[in-house]
Structure 1
Amino acid sequence: MERVTMNKLIAQELNIKPQQVNQVIELLEEGNTVPFIARYRKEVTGSLDEVQIKNIEDRHHYIQQLEQRKEEVVRLIDEQQKLTPELEKSIRDATVLKKVEDLYRPYKQKRKTKATVAKAKGLEPFAEWLLTQSNESPIKYAEQFITEEVVTVEDALQGACDILAEQFADEPTIREQIRKITWQDGVIRTTVKDATQDEKSVFEIYYNYEEPLKKVVPHRILAMNRGEKEEILKVGIHVEPVKIHTAMRNKWLKPKTSPAHVYLEEVIADSYKRLLAPSIEREVRSELTERAENQAIHIFSENLRNLLLQPPMKGKYVLGLDPAYRTGCKLAVVDDTGKFLDLSVIYPHPPKAKPEEAKNTLLQLLNKYPIDIIAIGNGTASRESEAFVAEVLKEASSNTAYVIVNEAGASVYSASEVARDEFPDLQVEQRSAISIARRLQDPLAELVKIEPKAVGVGQYQHDVSQKKLVSSLDFVVETAVNQVGVDVNTASSSLLQHISGLSKTVAENIVRVRSEQGKFTARTQLKKIPRLGAKTYEQAIGFLRISDAKNPLDGTGIHPESYALAKSILEVAGLTVKQIGTKEAEEAISHFTIAELSERFNVGEITVKDVIDMLMKPSRDPRDAFPQPLLKQDVLKMEDLKVGMELQGTVRNVVDFGAFVDIGVKQDGLVHISKLKKGFVKHPLDVVALGDIVTVYVDQVDEKKGRVSLTMIAPEK
């Protein structure tokens, strides 16, 4: 496929201009990263964002692989001397891999099958004769194929029918027709295989379940797959074969009657039941699974993005509390910069309950340090710890609040090499408490230390392709880190290695040089970092900030390649670089229009706008647009809940069927997709995002099962 055609195809699929596709591919081929292109090459791409650029990259890669496969298939068929100009054109015109494989299927070298055995016995000419649908008797014609290997007429007929059954099953147009009929009319059925394996009746709904293929939703597919994998369920696809048999007759049977028809009817039934149906079922189930996986990965990615971009609680002393029963609650105090100050362990809960001693220890820490917030992990014993903390705060002289923090992955971090390097003298559980505290101060900086898939904010993440999941989540982390940018003098190597262009080695080199030589005072100093070459510097430097640099522009998101433009804008506005970010700068620059400055300096309007934005608000953090965590000073119990009660809560997880909201009781409440707002909701992500602070109303309370149903639709007054 020519490059121009390829770009047009990608543009059509992604609903963008072919020129944009061409520019992005050229930039990628030059070694530019997705974050760099999205942030600093907006003029070239027409302001495409990271996701659009990544989609172009992925589609381009797919088409390249498709073209390679086409070449291989053409070569393999040609080697058999069966390649016709029409077949070659069909292969080269194909736009999806499935079409190429369908066209190749009849020529594919097969392992031993009924058809290959029959061909080896010399029955292929008989099969070809049957297809002519002559008026001659097939039984009489079969006699000439009797040999030592083909003993009877019935053997000859069976062998010829086996050859035709495989031929029918390999026909590309028929396969495509049957696929369409299956998707249109087929149903997915599940029955129980072994209920004893389902101890908690998790899959009970699927013990006898049926749903049209065209309606089944992704999370149900993943649930069925898991039930099948655990040998609790049998899963299959059923479609009435009437339409399929008719399509096959229309393809293979001639209008005139023939003695061969009775055998060809049998071939059609056998070909579909034995070969086509199982093959198409595998394809359809594979496609259903792929769609479901993509949806699950998309939800996980969106939740992770929102978790990473939760606003930091800047300038706050935090006490992190890692809750537990038997081993006690671990406490860790960190100062307003995240520096670890103090550790303790308390036993407010059974089996080693020492509530009075625990209260005194906590009060001592509150008196010793100016703690603004207590961050409580949401794991085991979280709600009991919350109740304990709320009671202690009533006696505290400080005005300390508390907040529940998602601790998913904290134990993974605590046992990691990164944690051991940071706190070599601490126990695993002590590191967890520090991580929980720091997550509140700067979620992004702390969460990047954890393998993304260990942050439990998805559904069925263990049932999807781990390779695809990791790739998608890594892209989310990279995008989030680069959108925010990092202070090169405080960032950990875990955070730095997600910056555009920086490898793990270069990130570690930056931290090592910083610890040996002191803080960086200019971006240009980074050029001397080992393994950080000119291209890497170009890709990374705009995302690396130096807050107290000699040149204030080094503390902004302005790329050094635009420093001359920035200084020119400041000059015409009568400002110096020392004045960026001040009210004077905002007022002075606002006298000029973007179009005016663009024309004056012969620079694109998009670039001018970005530079002006940074000159006015150099320390702008995109996370500031998100809601701050919901701070509390008292606790709510399940028995306090009444139907219709209005509450404020934090969205903890978004899934296909709704959103789980933390309202301060033991279990997060579920807002079903139908209760998110009045009217139709295509997906919960269209209404809420992880971290949102929402107003909810209690819909139903089941104290026995510990379940709370919520609604975001206000009750009628």
Structure 2
Amino acid sequence: MEYAKILSAELNVPEQYAAAAIALIDEGNTIPFIARYRKEATNAMDDQVLRTLAERLDYLRGLEKRKGEVAAVITEQGAMTEELERALAAAKTLAEVEDLYRPYKPKRKTRASVAKARGLEPLAQALLAQDARLDVRAEAEKYITEEVPDAEAALAGARDILAEQVSDDAALRAELRKFYRAFGLVKSKAAKEEDSVYAQYYDFSEPVNRIAGHRVLALDRGEREEFLKVSVEVDPERACGIARRMFVKKSGGASAAQVDEAVQDAYARLVQPSLEREVRAALTEQAAEGAIQVFGENLRQLLLAPPIKGKVAMALDPGYRMGCKVAVVDPTGKVLDTAVVYPVPEFKRVEQAKSTIKALIKKHGVEIIAIGNGTA
């Protein structure tokens, strides 16, 4: 994979500088070091761009590695085709790779695997062909055994096989993923009848594509603390309609009715829970990244705030049990005086605290006061 070319296009930086940054990262240099001491090599990329480049580089390398692992497993199974090979090569996200791998992934015992073990896969494929002339019940009776007592049991097993096949279809999952992102609603309900800081989310709903990151994080916390039940919902009929258009033939007769039933089962039992987890995980990841960026920018502004020069300053470090620590410094930062006061009513020393502070201000000519986080 041409990492420098891809990152150059994504980050809008010249390819030669993207390649230089990759080489420096691979040599073990840290992002702060590269940003400060290797500006000539990277055309003075700042640490934020370099960090984004490093994160994307890790993702792309992980993607390439996963593609190789998946290709090896599928090839070992003798199932690799030119079409699948092209699809793997074209996949741009890990989700796409996992969708392609899903049909070939070793599975634990499932309803479909049990049905296959009972020899019902040919019946499932006969139903999927959706030949209107097929006598479904007569065909199913051919598969009656000790383990499959009647035609209905044979059809149920065949539908289980089809449901898993529908669930594993990469194209369907890609379409439904887009549908969830465009039309999904994040909803929350109260998990217990108790007032809490999450009361505003006891009957909450907002579109997936518009919900703010801080709300996502609040919903996650509320769910962890067992005050909320959170879900991602879409119109099930519209979602099933996407699958029907891909798998059910209008002229398929009784076979099509069986496939339609399998599609509905696949969506409700297999696809919907999986996509809901995926969408929520993506929302949480985006929200966390957004929060980190906001905190980082706030810290940056705080650290870059200009110092106050030429002033005698008093600093108060608030405290409760151990008191409030006070220090006075001159314009050069030299400590002129210190004290400990108890300005909270419970200690009955508020007046003493007031007189101590006032005396320090008068004695040293304090011009500004800096107060900590306000505890107590």
Same fold (TM over 0.5): yes
Aligned position for 2:81 = 84
The reply on whether 1:112 has 2:97 as its aligned counterpart is no
Cα distance in structure 1, aligned partners of 2:242 and 2:352: 80
2:27 to 23, 26, 30: 30
Aligned position for 2:295 = 300
* 2:301 alignment partner AA: N
Does the C-alpha gap of structure 1 residues 311 and 260 become closer, same or farther in structure 2, counting only changes over 3 Å? same
CA-CA distance at 1:40 after TM superposition: 3.8
The reply on whether 1:242 has 2:240 as its aligned counterpart is no
The reply on whether 1:75 has 2:72 as its aligned counterpart is yes
**Structure 1 residue matching 2:158: 3-state secondary structure:** helix
Cα distance in structure 1, aligned partners of 2:244 and 2:187: 28
* 1:180 alignment partner AA: K
Cα distance in structure 2, aligned partners of 1:179 and 1:206: 25
TM-score by length of 1: 0.49
Misfit runs of 4+, over 6 Å: none
Does the C-alpha gap of structure 1 residues 205 and 78 become closer, same or farther in structure 2, counting only changes over 3 Å? same
For residues 324-403 of structure 1, the aligned pairs below 5 Å read: 324=319, 327-334=322-329, 338=333, 342-366=337-361, 369=364, 371-381=366-376
**Is the deviation greater in 358-367 or in 222-231?**
358-367
**Structure 1 residue matching 2:210: 3-state secondary structure:** coil
Does the C-alpha gap of structure 1 residues 213 and 319 become closer, same or farther in structure 2, counting only changes over 3 Å? same
CA-CA distance at 1:318 after TM superposition: 3.6
Q: CA contact under 8 A between 1:326 and 1:351: conserved in structure 2?
A: no
**Structure 1 residue matching 2:253: 3-state secondary structure:** coil
CA-CA distance at 1:244 after TM superposition: 2.7
* 1:248 alignment partner AA: A
CA-CA distance at 1:186 after TM superposition: 2.1
* 1:24 alignment partner AA: A
2:221 to 214, 221, 226: 226
Show CA shifts across 1:174-209 (max 9, x none): 00111112222222222222131x34xx32322222
Aligned position for 2:318 = 323
Does the C-alpha gap of structure 1 residues 271 and 317 become closer, same or farther in structure 2, counting only changes over 3 Å? same
CA-CA distance at 1:332 after TM superposition: 2.9
Give the aligned CA root-mean-square deviation in angstroms: 2.3
Show CA shifts across 1:16-72 (max 9, x none): 222221121122223433233333433332332111111111111111111111111
The reply on whether 1:44 has 2:41 as its aligned counterpart is yes
Aligned position for 2:168 = 170
Aligned position for 2:9 = 12
Cα distance in structure 2, aligned partners of 1:359 and 1:286: 52
For residues 369-518 of structure 1, the aligned pairs below 5 Å read: 369=364, 371-381=366-376
2:254 to 253, 256, 259: 259
1:155 to 149, 153, 172: 153
2:93 to 92, 96, 102: 96
Q: CA contact under 8 A between 1:66 and 1:96: conserved in structure 2?
A: yes
1:142 to 117, 140, 143: 140
Q: Where does structure 1 lack aligned partners over 5 or more consecutive residues?
A: 382-717
The reply on whether 1:312 has 2:307 as its aligned counterpart is yes
The reply on whether 1:275 has 2:270 as its aligned counterpart is yes
**Structure 2 residue matching 1:264: 3-state secondary structure:** helix
Does the C-alpha gap of structure 1 residues 362 and 185 become closer, same or farther in structure 2, counting only changes over 3 Å? closer
Cα distance in structure 1, aligned partners of 2:344 and 2:206: 48
Does the C-alpha gap of structure 1 residues 219 and 366 become closer, same or farther in structure 2, counting only changes over 3 Å? closer
**Structure 2 residue matching 1:343: 3-state secondary structure:** strand
Cα distance in structure 1, aligned partners of 2:162 and 2:85: 24
* 1:21 alignment partner AA: A
Q: CA contact under 8 A between 1:118 and 1:124: conserved in structure 2?
A: yes
Cα distance in structure 1, aligned partners of 2:349 and 2:45: 58
Cα distance in structure 2, aligned partners of 1:297 and 1:26: 27
CA-CA distance at 1:259 after TM superposition: 2.2
Cα distance in structure 1, aligned partners of 2:250 and 2:217: 46
Q: CA contact under 8 A between 2:31 and 2:47: conserved in structure 1?
A: yes
Cα distance in structure 2, aligned partners of 1:31 and 1:323: 43
CA-CA distance at 1:360 after TM superposition: 4.3
**Is the deviation greater in 309-318 or in 107-116?**
309-318
* 1:56 alignment partner AA: L
Aligned position for 1:661 = none
CA-CA distance at 1:324 after TM superposition: 4.2
Cα distance in structure 2, aligned partners of 1:50 and 1:152: 68
For residues 599-610 of structure 1, the aligned pairs below 5 Å read: none
Alignment length, in residue pairs? 375
* 2:245 alignment partner AA: N
**Structure 1 residue matching 2:61: 3-state secondary structure:** helix
Q: CA contact under 8 A between 2:128 and 2:256: conserved in structure 1?
A: no
For residues 545-694 of structure 1, the aligned pairs below 5 Å read: none
Cα distance in structure 1, aligned partners of 2:33 and 2:373: 36
Q: Where does structure 2 lack aligned partners over 5 or more consecutive residues?
A: none
Aligned position for 2:127 = 130
Matched-pair identity in %: 47
Does the C-alpha gap of structure 1 residues 245 and 31 become closer, same or farther in structure 2, counting only changes over 3 Å? closer
Q: CA contact under 8 A between 1:317 and 1:372: conserved in structure 2?
A: yes
**Structure 1 residue matching 2:142: 3-state secondary structure:** helix
Aligned position for 1:286 = 281
